[in-house]
Amino acid sequence: MDPTTGKKRVAKLSIVALHGEHINDSISRNEHGLDTCDYSLRFEPNPRASQVANLVVQQALSMIHAVSQERTDVFDNQWRGPHGYNPLLMLFNQQHPDAVCVAFESLAMEVQQVLASQPPLVEAEVPAKVFGDIHGQFRDMLLLMFHYGFPQSTKGPNFIFNGDWADRGAHQLEVISLVFALKAMFPTRVWLVRGNHEDCVQNQAMGHAGLHAQCHHRLGQQSGHRAFQAMQYVFNWLPLGCLINRKILVVHGGIGDGNWSLNHLRNVHRPLDHDAIPRYSVIYNVLWSDPIPDDPGDPREHFGVHDSPRDHHAHMIITFGSDVTAEFCARNHLEMVVRSHQALKEGFGYDVMHDGRCVRVFSARDYEGCGNDGAVLSITEGAQHRGQPPHYLVRAQVIRSLACPKRDD
């Protein structure tokens, strides 16, 4: 916006503007860019949370510091834990998987009770950090927190974890344990949003790469079954969205046909299991739908709503164009929709789409061979001028892909 004429001009933003001046110091093939890291991370116990939740968060902070000192960057699936120690056992400070299961069941029950006391559309204030899909890439999660912040009880931003913590990655149990512990420790500063992979059937359909298989592989048959069931009880209570300052809606997938109000999410009855989700088109698409890219070409292909290839065009999942996003935001008095759900090949971990009204964030780098960066979104309030409504600054904070060469332009 030109302040002298009041006219808008669209131009390409430099990567430095989005990533910051230290873009070349961000995580590369050989180093973490230690000058950008946050050394102020400190453990703050919460006497209102359980001993298990306190322990997991404290251990995670210890692991963050250990990871930050690893001089060689590695893919998450090649990482064997801090100093080669099993990261799941370390999180719970246990020596045997059965003991981990007992502690995890207790943690899951604690989180379920917190979620049940909160609405299906939660609300948060700025400043806020939004994590996208993590998919079991625990080391990437720790690095993002080391570089860009860790939840605190009384200061700093709200943290929103926008679903898909499980399936495909090597450390799914660690990721789920940490997001659960963070929710228990900071119930009104950490917000968990359900993704399409927080689902019992989806976790089993993923086969050997799924959460169901990993529970059994890492915890044993009996303990693995118990831990898996405990997770599903929590998943069924997860909120379906988070509203930031009543102006930015965070959902995992998208808005589907967009012809609905936020009250659809406010009025959802939980627990919501796998069989119940397809009965509600809005909910199904909040978890599964995708925006249509802003490509030039035939407007009939890039506007409106279309069937999605995700369900083989079975008319359940919808892709939506920029006109749908604009109308949805206007109807609900929103400025933006933040979503996750997609990793782009050699992407930056984020995308700005639909005239700035739709932003994608994805936190697992090098996901399934995509060569993508991992990112979180930092959302802050800009300077407010007299008589003008507040506006919000959304900045992507990135860790570099290992697979894709550096991109400096």
Domain that holds residue 315: 19-399
Q: Which of 19, 171, 197, 354 is catalytic?
A: 197
- How long is the chain? 409
In a domain? residue 408:
no
Rounded Cα–Cα distance for residues 177 and 194 (Å): 15
In a domain? residue 14:
no
- Contact of 87 with 72, CB cutoff 8 Å: no
Query: Which domain CATH number covers 83?
Result: 3.60.21.10
The pLDDT value recorded for residue 255 is 97
Q: Give 332-371 as a DSSP string.
A: TT-SEEEE-----TT--SEEEEGGGTEEEEB--TTGGG--
197 is catalytic: yes
Phi first, then psi: what are they for 116, rounded to 5°? -65, -25
Eight-class DSSP state of 297: S
In a domain? residue 143:
yes
Rounded Cα–Cα distance for residues 68 and 75 (Å): 14
- Contact of 252 with 164, CB cutoff 8 Å: yes
H/E run at residue 60: helix 51-68
In a domain? residue 326:
yes
In a domain? residue 156:
yes
H/E run at residue 288: helix 281-288
Q: Give 131-144 as a DSSP string.
A: E-B-TT-HHHHHHH
The pLDDT value recorded for residue 148 is 95
In a domain? residue 409:
no
- Measured between alpha carbons, how far is residue 177 from residues 80, 88, 183, 252, 363 in Å? 17, 9, 10, 20, 17
pLDDT in tens, the chain (409 residues): 343 444 444 444 434 334 333 333 333 333 333 333 454 678 999 999 999 999 999 999 999 999 999 989 999 999 999 999 999 999 999 999 999 999 999 999 999 999 999 999 999 999 999 999 999 999 999 999 999 999 998 888 999 999 999 999 999 999 999 999 999 999 999 999 999 999 999 999 999 999 999 999 999 999 999 999 999 999 999 999 999 999 999 999 999 999 999 999 999 999 999 999 999 999 999 999 999 998 766 666 678 788 888 876 667 899 999 999 999 999 999 999 999 999 999 999 999 999 999 999 999 999 999 999 999 999 998 877 777 777 899 999 999 999 987 555 4
Q: Which two tokens stand for residue 105?
A: 């069941």
Phi first, then psi: what are they for 103, rounded to 5°? -65, -40
In a domain? residue 404:
no
In a domain? residue 5:
no
- Count: domains in the chain: 1
